[in-house]
């Protein structure tokens, strides 16, 4: 059977998503989903969908939703690519901009763990750049790659890299820089304008986080028309379905709901930060909808395991750089207090055990 499967695929370690536990008693803080409801306009448009339209193929280039994005960002529609989640956009960037013979993909370590998987699928070299002990970065002298994925704010570290430093890197980098802004609506700064200033920059965004629409799988990127046209050449024939296009369109028009959601997340982020610090956690200054924290004894792995026993789900990433930390999604205030109660129980047991 193995001879039917590419050798590189046989050797591949696939992407490992966060668990999706079910049940009303589960406190789910492990996949950076939004605990608040999306725009009511989404509810309305779903009721208005013409069932006959579902018998037809969707618009292959997402014209109407791209018009909304273009107006929101004051860019041309020809500068926008729409995809089946931002993950599709990332995958297409490797296929479009990285030669299989001699090309390479760069990214920070730690960062989004899908990047090396996408590179390995395409049989291209990966060139990770290790972050320092404070999760900051300095590019090595003479560093090159065909594409560099720069997540800003970064995941899982939650930190925002200064725009000035990002721009300095863009100006000196010979390849394509994909600035992944999945969490930018929770941050104090964006690099979107770099996508229109520099021909080697794409800025990628998603509706999964700040729009509370992870289930529809819609993402997009903005950049030079030549780069965007290359992505359209190689995308699947009808890559974004009709329902997703309509839901994305009305959600992107409802600025008020998105702003209310992000404000609520920021407020809950502050509460969770204060509660965890009171328990002795080292909390990095987050500009995302999650926290990257270093817990006290009994340590990250043990706390992760004990929380899971109590139906509280967070993320722990094994490894030298990440193993001492936990990533915790910012949930509702009620979820935060349930997390705190569970942690108080765990830490109390840990102290009594010595």
Beta strands 201-206 and 219-223, pairing class: antiparallel
| Residues 130-143 pLDDT 10s | 999 999 999 999 99
Whether the model pTM is above 0.85: yes
Residue 206 host element (H or E): strand 201-206
Q: Indicate where the chain has its CATH 3.40.640.10 domain(s).
A: 40-254
Of 66, 107, 70, 99, residue with least CA distance to 83: 66
- Least trusted range by pLDDT, from 31-40, 119-128, 341-350: 341-350
Whether the CB-CB separation of 287 and 187 falls below 8 Å is answered with yes
| Average of per-residue pLDDT values in the chain | 96
Beta strands 201-206 and 312-313, pairing class: unpaired
Determine the pLDDT at residue 123. 95
> How far apart, in whole angstroms, are the C-alpha atoms of residue 267 and residue 81?
32
> How far apart, in whole angstroms, are the C-alpha atoms of residue 89 and residue 206?
10
The band of 267, judged by pLDDT with boundaries at 50, 70 and 90, is very high
Q: Indicate where the chain has its CATH 3.90.1150.10 domain(s).
A: 2-37+256-349
| Residues 228-241 pLDDT 10s | 999 999 999 999 99
3-state helix, strand and coil shares in percent for the chain, rounded to the nearest 5: 45, 15, 40
- Indicate the length of the chain as a whole number: 354
Instruction: Give the architecture-level CATH label for domain 40-254.
Output: 3-Layer(aba) Sandwich (3.40)
* Per-residue pLDDT at 39 exceeds 60: yes
Question: ω before 117 within 30° of 0 (cis)?
Answer: no
Domain 2-37+256-349 - what CATH class? alpha beta
Angle 333-352/300-309 helices, nearest 10 degrees?
A: 120
């Amino acid at each position: 059977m193995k001879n039917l499967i590419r050798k590189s695929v046989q050797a591949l370690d696939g992407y490992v998503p966060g668990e999706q536990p079910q049940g009303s008693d589960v406190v789910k803080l492990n996949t950076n989903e939004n605990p608040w409801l999306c725009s009511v306009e989404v509810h309305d448009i779903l009721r208005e969908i013409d069932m006959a339209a579902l018998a037809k193929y969707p618009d292959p280039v997402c014209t109407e939703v791209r018009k909304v994005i273009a107006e929101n960002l004051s860019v041309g529609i020809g500068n926008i690519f729409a995809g089946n989640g931002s993950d599709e956009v990332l995958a297409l960037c490797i296929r479009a901009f990285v030669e299989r013979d001699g090309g390479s993909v760069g990214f920070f370590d730690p960062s989004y763990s899908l990047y090396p998987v996408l590179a390995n699928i395409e049989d291209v070299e990966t060139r990770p750049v290790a972050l320092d002990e404070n999760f900051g970065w300095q590019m090595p002298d003479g560093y090159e790659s065909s594409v560099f994925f720069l997540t800003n704010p970064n995941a899982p570290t939650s930190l925002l890299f200064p725009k000035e430093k990002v721009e300095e890197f863009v100006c000196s980098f010979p390849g394509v820089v994909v600035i992944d802004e999945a969490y930018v609506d929770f941050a104090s700064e964006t690099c979107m304008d770099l996508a229109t200033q520099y021909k080697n920059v794409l800025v990628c965004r998603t509706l999964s986080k700040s729009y509370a629409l992870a289930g529809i799988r819609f993402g997009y990127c903005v950049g030079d028309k030549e780069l965007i046209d290359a992505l359209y050449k190689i995308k699947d024939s009808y890559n974004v379905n009709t329902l997703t296009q309509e839901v994305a369109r009305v959600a992107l028009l409802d600025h008020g709901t998105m702003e209310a959601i992000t404000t609520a997340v920021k407020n809950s982020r502050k509460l969770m930060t204060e509660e965890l610090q009171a328990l002795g956690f080292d909390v990095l200054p987050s500009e995302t909808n999650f926290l990257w924290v270093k817990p006290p004894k009994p340590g990250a792995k043990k706390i992760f395991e004990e929380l899971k026993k109590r139906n509280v789900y967070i993320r722990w990433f094994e490894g030298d750089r990440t193993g001492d930390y936990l990533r915790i999604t910012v949930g509702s205030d009620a979820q935060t207090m349930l997390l705190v109660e569970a942690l108080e129980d765990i830490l109390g047991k840990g102290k009594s055990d010595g």
